[in-house]
Structures are given as C-alpha cells and as structure tokens.
Amino acid sequence: MKLQRDIFIKEIIKKMEKDKNIFFLSADFGAAALDELRERFPENFIHCGISEQAMLDVASGLALEKNKVFVYAMAPFLSLRAIEQAKCGAGLMNLPICMISVGIGLGYADAGPTHYANEDFSCFRSVVGSSIYTPADNESTKLIAKEMLEKPKFSYVRLDREHLKDLEPKINQKDYKNGYQILGKIKKQKTAIISHGKILHNCIEAFKNDKNKYILINLFKAKPFPKNLAKDVKKINNFLVVDEQSPSGSLSSCVFEGFSESGFFPKIISSSLPEEYIFDNGGREYLLNKYGLSKKDLLKRAKKFK
C-alpha cells in the first residue's frame, strides 16, 4: 500500500537523477520516499526547520534563480500559516513553486482542529495564480507529479494522509488533460455527484448501487476550473458537491463559479463539514459520519432534488 506522498516523491527522485536543479524543502515533515531522497540527493534537500513561512521564502529565492522547487509540509500549517508567503512569492512573482500539502480534511483525526485542514481549499483558491489539485488515487498523484516536474508552476497539491484505493477505471491521459474524470454514463435524469480526494471514495461507496440514478465526477483539478466540464455535463440538472471542508468556499462554491462562467446554471447542493471546529474523538470515519458526510446523509442530500 503506497501513500500518495511516496508516489509523488518517487517521481521527484526519478527526475533528480537527471535534473540537478530540483530542490525539495521540508518543514520537518517526512515520508518513506523522502528518506531515500535525502540520502541520495542531500544537496537538493533543505530541512527548513518547523518554519513553514521561511520555507516558502527560501523557495522563492531558489525559484528566482531558476530552480524547480517543491515545498512539503503538513496541510494545516503549509496552507494557512504560510499563505502570505505563498502570495508574495509564488503568487506575486509568478514563481513555479509546487506546494505538497499532506493530510487534508480531517486526515489528522484525532489530533484535533489545530491539525485539520478544513479551510485550506478556499484559502488557496483565493490566492491569485494558484493551480489546485486534489487527487483521489495514486495514478492521478503520479500524473500530477510528472506535470509539475515537466512544466513547473505555482501549484497547491492536496494529498491525503491515508492510503487511497485505486479508482476503476483508472484515469487516462484525456481525463488528466481535462482535469476531471467522469465515472458512469451521462443521462439527463441522473444526479451528478462531484467530489475529490478521499471523500470521493465515500461518495463512490454511497452511490455505487444506484448507477441508473447517479454519476460521479472526480474533479481532481479544481483551479483553474476545467473548461470542458460544463459542456460535458450540460444535460444534467442536479449536482451534489461533496467536500471534506468547512462550508464557506468549499468545492461547491468552486463548481458554482466554474459552471456560471460557462453560462451553465444547474441546481447545486453542497455537502460539507459544518461551520464549526471539531473537537470530538473517534477517528476520521466516525467524524465524517457524525458531521453530515455519512453514506446515509449523502443519499439523503441527493434525494433533495426530488
């Protein structure tokens, strides 16, 4: 069972064998693959201390000198703590810095709300010039890593802390180019469930027995919003957007704005975490079930269209 972070870092290692201008910066956050990277390429690795802000500034300096730069830390700290550094460096100067953010949503259950990244999506969506990726499996994680190595840009890549199952069918090149994958056949009377990351798997689980009523859309690239999506799903009127984020600015806002830009105005309902900080224990699945993202809750929300 490989974790997304190991898949991503393995791709960087492969590239480092040929490209000496890649730097990997960590704010004291590890991975099995990172141990290999540090051992094999010590000159290309910078331990920045538990200092996400300085890490982003150092990344800016490296990127200004034409290096390919990857910064790596736990999602809640890389995002909200260092967001102004991301704005002033990668944002304002359009620098090709890739931010690898691990442990999105309630990934760090039961660490508690300091460690939850339930606001990072909306925060980074608002930083001008950012691209946002939330892969739901290892295949798309690998493709994202390859893209960031071939065509570096200011990107915020949201990885899960846990191992995520492979999707069936696997994402193909066309899907990757589009920025989304449609699971199921599009029919007018169906409801579309849009999600990304780990919570997409919960949606698959919830809706898999009713393929005549639902299709699922794996929106792994939310920003820039995929141009073709509205055109591909224009037959459908009802969309349930599911995200492991607090409600303000979660994936549903992004979908609404993306569709509106294309002149597409279907009914959109959002399922997300509540507008509160979660202090309960019990593990991630328990919390998702308790806070409105259980299979039962998702089915109930989807039925609201009728």
User: Contact positions toward another protein, by CB under 8 A?
Assistant: 23, 43-44, 46, 48-49, 51, 53-65, 67, 84-85, 88-89, 92-93
- Sequence-distant (≥ 6) Cβ neighbours of residue 158 within 8 angstroms: 75, 101, 104, 117, 120, 121, 132, 133, 134, 197
For the CB of residue 88, give the shortest distance to another protein in the complex, in Å: 5
| Residue whose CB is less far from another protein, 53 or 289 | 53
| Residue whose CB is less far from another protein, 62 or 203 | 62
For the CB of residue 79, give the shortest distance to another protein in the complex, in Å: 16
- Sequence-distant (≥ 6) Cβ neighbours of residue 141 within 8 angstroms: 4, 7, 8, 135, 159
| Residue whose CB is less far from another protein, 67 or 253 | 67
- Sequence-distant (≥ 6) Cβ neighbours of residue 260 within 8 angstroms: none
- Sequence-distant (≥ 6) Cβ neighbours of residue 127 within 8 angstroms: 83, 86, 87, 91, 156
For the CB of residue 48, give the shortest distance to another protein in the complex, in Å: 6
Give yes or no for a contact between 251 and 219, defined as CB atoms under 8 angstroms apart.
Answer: yes
| Residue whose CB is less far from another protein, 84 or 210 | 84
Query: Nearest CA to 193 among 219, 166, 168, 169?
Result: 219
Q: Could you give phi then psi for residue 247, rounded to 5 degrees?
A: -65, -35
| Residue whose CB is less far from another protein, 31 or 63 | 63
What Rg, from alpha-carbon coordinates, does the chain have? 19
| Residue whose CB is less far from another protein, 39 or 43 | 43
Q: Is the dihedral of CA 172, 190, 206, 292 positive or negative?
A: positive
For the CB of residue 56, give the shortest distance to another protein in the complex, in Å: 7
For the CB of residue 41, give the shortest distance to another protein in the complex, in Å: 11
For the CB of residue 32, give the shortest distance to another protein in the complex, in Å: 25
